[in-house]
């Protein structure tokens, strides 16, 4: 009987540690810029459809946000995701370093947990938005894991480059520089 209880408790522990709702974290090695191109971006070449989302302060954000920069780094993340939160300081550093190069970072809170997201992002300099139905349907629901980082040009077109999973400053920087060369 004790063995049976131990087995059941072990199974419950494993399931509770690996479950992330309808999104899952990507674990393992972070792909290089070259490796991320080997995995196909399912949204590559699509134009971001019109949306009216809200930032974490309740201000309206539309797809016009993309026209303000040559490249917009779009990071899809969840409040439940450790690797998502770990890469935020790296993205903030990118926002600060590249702002004079017409590069902007925005985050999309996939799980729409506004209060928790506000707490997590309070020291960040880049905008985080809660997706509306259109943005959720086209972008967020295209991936069954977080984090995912996309790159969007100033016409609102999703570029083929993307980073599936967590990343670091150097990888973000290489990807952005590659995107800027193509503009």
For the chain, 183 residues long, give each residue's pLDDT as a single digit of tens: 555 444 434 443 333 333 333 444 444 444 444 444 467 999 999 999 999 999 999 999 999 999 999 999 999 999 999 999 999 999 999 999 998 999 999 999 999 999 999 999 999 999 999 999 999 999 999 999 999 999 999 999 999 999 999 999 999 999 999 999 986
Quote the pLDDT of residue 182: 84
pTM of the model: 0.81
Quote the pLDDT of residue 26: 41
Domain that holds residue 107: 22-182
Look at the chain and report how many structural domains it folds into.
1
For position 150, which CATH number holds? 3.40.30.10
Asked if residue 34 is part of any domain, the answer here is yes
Q: Where do runs of H (alpha helix) occur along the chain?
A: 2-18, 33-38, 82-98, 114-121, 133-138, 169-182
Q: Residue 108: how many CB atoms within 10 A of its CB?
A: 24
Asked if residue 4 is part of any domain, the answer here is no
Asked if residue 9 is part of any domain, the answer here is no
Asked if residue 59 is part of any domain, the answer here is yes
């Amino acid at each position: 009987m004790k063995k049976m209880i131990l087995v059941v408790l072990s199974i419950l522990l494993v399931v509770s540690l690996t479950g992330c709702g309808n999104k899952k974290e990507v674990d393992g090695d972070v792909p290089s810029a070259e490796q991320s191109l080997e995995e196909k971006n399912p949204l590559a070449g699509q134009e971001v459809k019109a949306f009216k989302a809200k930032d974490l302060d309740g201000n309206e954000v539309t797809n016009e946000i993309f026209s303000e920069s040559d490249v917009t780094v779009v990071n899809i993340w969840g409040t439940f995701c450790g690797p998502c939160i770990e890469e935020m300081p790296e993205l903030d550093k990118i926002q600060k370093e590249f702002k004079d190069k017409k590069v902007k970072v925005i985050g999309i809170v996939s799980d729409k947990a506004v209060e928790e997201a506000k707490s997590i992002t309070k020291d960040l300099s880049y905008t985080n938005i809660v997706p509306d139905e259109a943005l959720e349907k086209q972008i967020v629901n295209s991936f069954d894991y977080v984090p995912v980082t996309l790159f969007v040009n100033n016409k609102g077109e999703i570029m083929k480059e993307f980073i599936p999973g967590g990343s670091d400053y150097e990888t973000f920087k290489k990807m952005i520089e590659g995107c800027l060369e193509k503009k």
